[in-house]
Amino acid sequence: MPEVSTDHLDEQQVQLLAEMCILIDENDRRIGADTKKNCHLNENIDRGLLHRAFSVFLFNTENKLLLQQRSNAKITFPDCFTNTCCSHPLSHPLELEENDAIGVRRAAQRRMKAELGIPMEQVTPEEIFYLTRIHYKAKSDGIWGEHEIDYILFVQKDVTLNPDPNEIQSYCYVTQKELKQLLDKASRNEVKITPWFKLIAETFLFKWWDNLPHLNKFVDHEKIHRM
C-alpha cells in the first residue's frame, strides 16, 4: 500500500483513518478488512478496492430532511453539504452482522451519536429503515476519494442535536423546495455538495420523500444500483 503523508491533516480526523472498514466485492460479499486510510486512497480505489458504507436520511415529523455541511477538517469532501449522516460500518462483530443489515444499522446509530450528538436511545437500529444499496466511485482530490456500496437508510423522528464541530460545521432541516434550491446553487458552483448525495438526489430521493409513510414499496435488498 502506498505511504501518504497525513502530517498536514486534522489530528482528530487522522486518528479515524486507523479504523478498519469492511472490504467487499462488487456484489457486497465480504472479502476482508482494511484501514479507512487505505480504503480512501485513489491509488487503491483505482485498483478496485471497495468498502461497505451507509447514508442516513433523517426526516422530522414535519417531513423536513436534516442536512449537514461537512467540516473543513474532513479529509474527503470538506465543506460539502450532504445528507444527514454518511459513514462506514467497522470490521467488528456487531457491525459485521448482515441479517437485515443490522450491523450497518448499528453503525448508523453509532455515527449519528458521534457526528450529530443524537442520543443512542433516541434512534435505535430498529427505527432505522433499510431501503436499498447504491455503488458509486468519486474522487475528492488527487489523493483521496470514495468507492463504496452504500446502504440507504431512512429515519423519521424528532431528535435532539448536539453536533461535533470537528465533523460538522453547520446543519439545517429543509423542505423539498429548499433542497431543490440548494441543488440549483450547487449546479452553479455557489455551494458544494457530496457526489453521493447529488447522485441520490437526482435519482431516487424525491420519489422516496413523497412516500415516507409507504417506503415498503420501494424496498429492494436484492439489486445494487450502479451509479
115 noted as active-site residue: no
Nearest to 26 by CA among 53, 50, 54, 44: 50
Q: Is 35 helix (H, G, I), strand (E, B) or coil?
A: strand
78: pLDDT strictly greater than 70: yes
Confidence of residue 1 (pLDDT cuts 50, 70, 90): very low
pLDDT of residue 64: 98
Strand boundaries in 38-144, DSSP class E: 51-59, 65-70, 81-82, 85-87, 129-139
The whole-number pLDDT of residue 158 equals 98
**Contact assessment for residue 104 and residue 153, using Cβ atoms and an 8 Å cutoff:** yes
148 part of the active site: yes
Q: What pTM does this model have?
A: 0.94
Per-residue pLDDT at 86 exceeds 80: yes
The count of residues in the chain is 227
| Cell numbers for 145 | 476519494
CA-to-CA distance for 167 and 15, rounded, in angstroms? 13
C-alpha R_g of the chain = 17
Alpha-carbon span 125 to 110, nearest angstrom? 10
Which entry of 86, 95, 115, 146 is annotated as an active-site residue?
86
Query: What average pLDDT score do residues 167-179 get?
Result: 97
Confidence band, pLDDT 50/70/90 cuts, at residue 65? very high
Rounded percentage of the chain residues whose pLDDT exceeds 70 = 95
Q: What's the mean per-residue pLDDT of the chain? A: 94
Query: What pLDDT does residue 14 have?
Result: 58
Q: Of residues 95, 115, 146, 148, which has the active-site annotation?
A: 148
Write out pLDDT tens, residues 88-131: 999 999 999 999 999 999 999 999 999 999 999 999 999 999 99
Q: Give the model's confidence band at 5: pLDDT under 50 very low, under 70 low, under 90 confident, else very high.
A: low
